[in-house]
Amino acid sequence: MIKMIVGLANPIIDYNHTRHNIGAWYINQFAKYHNKIMIEKKNFIVIYQN
């Protein structure tokens, strides 16, 4: 059973829509596909398990 999936991203605006943020893009798509809610914390984003 998978416990965690990590998607790395670069928060600098210059890297939006580049390969530097593919990890964040993947996690976003994964959450949408599984109808999960993403909650932003101080230094990371958590996918809420309902």
Tokens at 33, concatenated:
């596909």
**E strands, the chain, in order:** 37-40, 45-48
Tokens at 10, concatenated:
């670069």
Asked if residue 34 lies in contact with residue 48, where contact means CB atoms within 8 angstroms, the answer is no
Just list the catalytic residues: 20
